[in-house]
Amino acid sequence: MRRWIAQICPAVFVLVLLSPQCVLAQWVTWHQFGTQGSYVHQTAHLLLFLSMLFFIHEIYYAHLQKFRGFRLLVWTWALLALWNLDAFVGHWADWTLENPIILGQGWDRHLLMYDFHTWVVYFTKIDHSLLLIPAFLMFYLGLKALVRKPGAE
């Protein structure tokens, strides 16, 4: 299974990077980003997502999940993995949103939810905060548990 993942992941990565824009890139509408930086940024999110999964796998492989500190760290990585997916979708939605209709001035500004795309942008921004705070809280609590007693179950 691991070998399969190790072979498939780089293959998909290379395929996405090297594919003609009108095929795979168009499928995820990346061609509208327009800059190389946006590609790199999104790829970095995918890489981060994969590394989070690897870490969770590693914790279970080493049987470290029996310790409270590492269990909390697994939650950190799981939430960060979710945040990465959310950020990937959120960036896509945000960067491809053309001519958002903003009503009002200053702090009273409102976003007109005229299509599904706008809803995605709005809610991925909320998820963004809702996932990152618990993730880093778990990271802090996990480290605290490890500092108190690394072997505590």
Partner 1 sequence: MIALPLAPLWILEYLGAFIVLILTCLSLRLSRRLVDQDPENALWLFLNWLAIAFLLFSISHLISHVLHDLIAYWNHPQLALLQRVFGGFDTVIYVVIAAITLFFHRIQRLYRRMEADHHHLEETSHEILALNREMEALVMERTMSEMALGMAHGIRNPLHVIGGFSHRLLRKTDEDDPSRAWATAIAEEARRIEQMVERFETLAMRKTSFFAQEDLNLIVGNTLELLFPELKAKNISLVAELCHEPLMGRFNKHLMKVALAHLVRNAVEATPRGGTVLVRTAKEKQFAVLTLQDTGRGMPQEVVEKVFVPFYTTKIGGTGLGMVFVRQIVDEHRGVITLESQVGRGTTVTIRLPHRFTDSPEVGDEVPPAAPPAAPAAPSTPEAGSGQD
x-marked contacts with partner 1 along 17-56 as a string, rule CB under 8 A: --------------------x--xx--xx-xx-xxx-xx-
Output the CA torsion 17→23→25→28 (10° steps): -130
**Rule CB under 8 A: which of 95-124 touch partner 1?**
100, 102-103, 107-114, 122
Residue 45 or 68 having the CB closest to partner 1: 45
Residue that has been written with the tokens 């702090």 in this structure: 107
| 15 counts as binding partner 1 under rule CB under 8 A | no
Both structure tokens of 105? 């001035």
| 60 counts as binding partner 1 under rule CB under 8 A | no
How far is residue 153 CA from its own chain's centroid? Answer: 30
| 6 counts as binding partner 1 under rule CB under 8 A | no
User: Taking the complex as a whole, how short is the minimal distance between the CB of residue 20 and partner 1, in angstroms?
Assistant: 24
Q: Which of 16, 82, 120, 146 binds partner 1 (CB under 8 A)?
A: 146
Both structure tokens of 110? 């409102």
In the three-class reduction of DSSP (H, G, I as helix; E, B as strand; rest coil), residue 149 is classed as coil
103: phi then psi, degrees, rounded to nearest 5: -105, 150
d(CA 6, CA 29): 26
User: Taking the complex as a whole, how short is the minimal distance between the CB of residue 19 and partner 1, in angstroms?
Assistant: 21
Helix H or strand E segment including 103:
strand 102-103
36-48 b/e (C-beta count within 10 Å ≥ 16 → b): eebbeebeebbee
User: Taking the complex as a whole, how short is the minimal distance between the CB of residue 24 and partner 1, in angstroms?
Assistant: 20
| Contact residues for partner 1, defined by CB under 8 A | 37, 40-41, 44-45, 47-48, 50-52, 54-55, 58, 62, 94, 100, 102-103, 107-114, 122, 125-126, 128-130, 132-133, 136-137, 139-140, 143-144, 146-147, 150
